[in-house]
Amino acid sequence: MKNRTKRQCKDRYMLFLAPTITNLPWTYEEDVKLYEMVKMFGKKWTILVRFFNGRSVVNLKNRYKMRVESMMEQDVNSPVMDNLSQTSCYTIPLIHHSNKHE
């Protein structure tokens, strides 16, 4: 593309166009999982993305701002959210990085 840098093209592909990125609607379970993960780890999107196959860092951040943040405010005292908070247990998937630089 004429008006875009190589970095911009790469980022657009990796975050939005790659075949591993899903554009399917978010499920309620994914919203709850994102809620739980933010409670556990904070807004550390590069860590949280490990728990969401097919979602990019940008997907997580945008979904959190659009839906989950309001869900947290509205449902913070609901039995569903309370039970999930008490029973959820997640392990952090390990990602091995190569030493190659692009």
Copy the structure tokens of residue 82.
């309370």
So what's the pLDDT on residue 69?
77
* Domain 7-87 is found in CATH 1.10.10.60: yes
> What tens digit of pLDDT does each residue of 40-95 get?
999 999 999 999 999 999 999 999 998 877 776 776 555 555 545 444 555 545 44
**Domain ranges (residues) in the chain:** 7-87
Burial call 40-75: b when 16+ CB within 10 Å, e when fewer: beeeebebbbebbeebbbebbeebbeeebeebbeeb
Nearest to 56 by CA among 15, 12, 95, 11: 15
Q: How far apart are CA 84 and CA 82, in angstroms?
A: 5
So what's the pLDDT on residue 75?
62
Whether the full predicted model's pTM is greater than 0.85, yes or no, is: no
